[in-house]
A and B are shown apart, each in its own frame.
Chain A
């Protein structure tokens, strides 16, 4: 099982205040696949995602995208990396002083230097695809949690990324609203986007994942297909984690 890796994480270390969160973690992600990271809080899922799009700098190791873009190089063009790799956060982080449409077109107009008309047209198309076109002119405080998170997804998509990172995007939501957000992820998965997702939604992980990685103590403790990890975990720690969350 050795997919031609689109994202290659190799021996990455990352500490915060001398407290190591990632301890030489390695993993490979194939193009157009969905990788789901599971594990307890503090196991390094979020930190790994933030390292992949260079929101955090790594202490050691290397992350390479498409065998050409070294995210961890000193000379790396961070803005270029973030254009190609989108991320959606647990707490939405929409800009409260901008309307939904402005939230979405900020990146395309300011970073990709697209014209206003083009950005707005593309944004409206994306909003329509996610059933949000009626919300285009609202401010974020008028949105439900599920709508806000879907707008955050659209905002990331508007940059036309090759990879999307989802950092526990349903954890801050009312259980009633989780479904609509997961539907959006399903749709992106079907569209062939490369996805890396940290989540506590085990049934969704089972459904969507090509690869499941169980993180523990800053490394990939066990990985495999969803069936392998969920149905026949090899390690006692994986078993006990799955037992606790399901």
Chain B
């Protein structure tokens, strides 16, 4: 290689400037902490001095009640986790298939396209809780032979159908985000349209929509609680039962804490993934 220009590989650091920027960082941290502390103090004073605080403390933040109900809540939450673990892969499969169906261009596939569009329109348009009611009470009432009448089954099915429609749209946006020149390049190498989708378009599409998909995962974790309306004893239903038998709302707070314990790490992970994908796209933006 050529000889580098003088000083090309050296970074000159001004010690004075470095010291100044270190000082500024320390000052910023202090100001931030003080501001946060002041804010918390104000909130605590405001809430603590409100006339209803004692009642609220007794009914929502009761230590004994918490200790008593928490193990049961955790146990019930296992059902939420199972619903989530079963629903999520099915949602991804349905979402992907529906998104692909909507991108089919040949006129032969018109019925498939129409069905896929109809599905997305309907299940994206109806509130999830309503889908749960309709399937959970409607399907068992049909008494079709071989069709399960289990509330957990239909509650999960409703979540899958509802979220499948959302995720299909996310995938479709991802497919649309891959520049047509990519498909053209693949076709010019002789790849069939199916191969082009599989090897060139989909991998890029999935990478582009990973952050919004993670958001939908987080949403789904919370919405497993909606299945409670059909009766199965998952965490929300458990809390409801405890609450009404003891006239104390602390179990609800316990349930909320359990959800938060799961969703906050997931949210941080989603933030990290989306920051990474943004960085990657910026880096790859030249070509």
Contact = CB atoms under 8 A, between A and B. Distances in A.
A145 B187 CA distance: 22
A92 B192 CA distance: 20
A82 B182 CA distance: 15
Specify the main secondary structure of chain B where it touches its partner: helix
A111 B188 contact: no
A94 B286 CA distance: 11
B30 interface: no
B195 to A, nearest CB: 6
Interface in B87-139: none
Contact of B185 (A93, A139, A145): A93
Given A93-B181, A97-B207, A82 B287 contact: no
A95 B188 contact: no
Nearest to B180: A93
A119 to B, nearest CB: 12
Interface stretch (B59-67, B161-169, B198-206, B223-231): B198-206
Q: Is the interface on chain B under 10, 10 to 19, 20 to 34, or 35 or more residues? A: 20 to 34
Interface string A106-136: 1100111000000000000000000000000
Contacts of B184: 55, 89, 93
B283 interface: yes
A141 B191 contact: no
B279 to A, nearest CB: 11
Nearest to B195: A110
A139 B192 CA distance: 24
Given A97-B203, A107-B191, A89 B181 contact: yes
A150 to B, nearest CB: 13
A156 interface: yes
A245 B284 CA distance: 33
A110 B190 CA distance: 9
Interface in B133-189: 181-182, 184-189
Contacts of A155: 189
Given A97-B204, A106-B199, A82 B284 contact: no
Nearest to B183: A93
B209 to A, nearest CB: 14
Interface of A: 53, 55, 78-80, 82-83, 86-87, 89, 91-97, 106-107, 110-112, 139-141, 143, 145, 148, 155-156, 159
**A-B pairs with lowest CB-CB distance, top 10:** A93-B185, A107-B189, A111-B190, A141-B284, A82-B190, A83-B190, A79-B190, A96-B284, A87-B188, A93-B181
26 contacts: A53-B188, A55-B184, A82-B187, A82-B188, A82-B189, A82-B190, A87-B188, A89-B185, A93-B181, A93-B184, A94-B287, A95-B185, A95-B200, A95-B204, A96-B284, A106-B186, A106-B189, A107-B189, A110-B199, A111-B190, A111-B195, A112-B190, A140-B284, A140-B287, A141-B284, A159-B189
